[in-house]
Structure 1
């Protein structure tokens, strides 16, 4: 794969790499990461099992004891949260994969090849975006089998999926920062997952905001995952469970717009920071 990157080129630096060559580098490295996924069927299998188990657990075990304020279907309410959780967890996979490449010296090989510097990080994040898209499609298929419905039709489903994927791509850059900052894959696993759980459970992913303690509701309303999940529900047309707070919420007045703003903010902070970390590695 590395030979394929260098084939047919003369020496060049990342700073003078043409846009076409840089795009080619991104495609080659994206392909490399996707082939890694396909060559590890066991890891791919267990990646699929965990979210499917979550769907079955929440629908058939917990779903019977959760009552929505407006009496809507908890099954429809739940799915946007499960979809979001599934792809947001991929940030940990991004961190682990990058940390493993650093540990094995793979990134060192890329640094000495005539490869656009940005392609090493972009290739990983684009590959994760492709993987998340396939995973989300499978998850939606499972959701349909257990009774989830999107009243807004295929257009609403695609719009909601795009919103979730865009936020997941932004969070993936946080995974890049983590992967470049930790000494090994084990630390990346812990660092990549620790921050996700509080965000997921202090949000509207699994329970209506009105069911949270009063002091915690404003925190949950400003939680970016609440905006993503609520925006996806709005686009899907599954608005059950949004009633009960009794006052308009600034971040939830237009949740899809708020979710996009959060994603843009995360990218604006994490992409330059990840670039600086990688540049420091290249100079070391």
Structure 2
């Protein structure tokens, strides 16, 4: 009689990879946020023309005002209009970044991208964080290009390097506040074609500031509005740090421009961040 050796049945194998055990919640959040940031940065590579256009537009505005309009403009307290204008254009560039953020958020909403990402096993806030990091990197590049363009047309800073870096920090703080305002407005608007209606409000805010013209030449009521404009606070503070002309006292907002240049963005962040987070959580409910 032949004996048959009974061997244990082989284990059934599957092609699925083992599920990794998460280390920390913070680690997963950072990984998800970086993935969303890379998604946004990949658009720069796929669509370089759009990225170049976003950088070229503020440079064209700077050249238009400096070369064609600057000859007829006067600066309070004297001084060259180009040195007055360039810091103001830095502020306008940071403020107008709000439009790009709004457009990107509303486009993702309309195409259902936000819903698809929210249904995936990832940190829900990573989508907004990735958007924010990519937009801030874009703003840093845009600001460096504007600084280079300012140097080419004769602008210089006359203070210390520390003061110049502080001015750059104030500009990026303003951009960060505008970023979260753009995220909230993009979530509220929801469709790219409606973004234009909101964009029309950005221009009056920009032109009723001291970015392009000194408040000394404005009518009394408009001067008060312009001096309390958040963009005016950053423009005046940046001019003071760069040592450029146009910083004239006489009112509380102009004499405390450095303080307001910090308080205004922080106030905008205190309002926009919770509202954007609440709106994002309430999508499709």
TM-score greater than 0.5 by the shorter chain: yes
Equivalent position of 1:242 in the other structure: 247
The alpha-carbon deviation at position 121 of structure 1 amounts to 1.1
Corresponding position: 1:216 with 2:222: yes
Equivalent position of 2:13 in the other structure: none
Equivalent position of 1:186 in the other structure: 193
Equivalent position of 2:170 in the other structure: 163
For residues 1-284 of structure 1, the aligned pairs below 5 Å read 18-191=25-198, 193-238=199-244, 240-243=245-248, 247=250, 249-281=251-283, 284=285
The alpha-carbon deviation at position 176 of structure 1 amounts to 0.6
- The range that moved more, 40-49 or 89-98, is 40-49
The alpha-carbon deviation at position 160 of structure 1 amounts to 1.0
Shift in CA distance, 109/76, structure 1 to aligned 2, threshold 3 Å: same
Provide the alpha-carbon RMSD of the alignment.
1.8
Scaled by the length of structure 2, what TM-score is found?
A: 0.89
Does the Cα contact within 8 Å between 2:170 and 2:234 map onto a contact in 1? Answer: yes
1:3-29 deviation per Cα after TM superposition (whole angstroms, max 9, x unaligned): xxxx9657x9xxxx7122212222221
Shift in CA distance, 84/9, structure 1 to aligned 2, threshold 3 Å: farther
Give the length in aligned residue pairs: 267
Does the Cα contact within 8 Å between 1:150 and 1:156 map onto a contact in 2? Answer: no
Does the Cα contact within 8 Å between 1:204 and 1:230 map onto a contact in 2? Answer: yes
Does the Cα contact within 8 Å between 2:236 and 2:246 map onto a contact in 1? Answer: no
- Rg (Cα) greater in structure: 2
Q: Distance in 1 between matches of 2:203 and 2:82?
A: 21
Does the Cα contact within 8 Å between 2:106 and 2:187 map onto a contact in 1? Answer: yes
SS of alignment partner, residue 47 of structure 1: helix
Equivalent position of 1:3 in the other structure: none
SS of alignment partner, residue 247 of structure 2: coil
1:233-265 deviation per Cα after TM superposition (whole angstroms, max 9, x unaligned): 111111x1233x6x2x22222212211111111
Hey, which bits of structure 1, 4+ residues long, moved more than 6 A? Answer: none
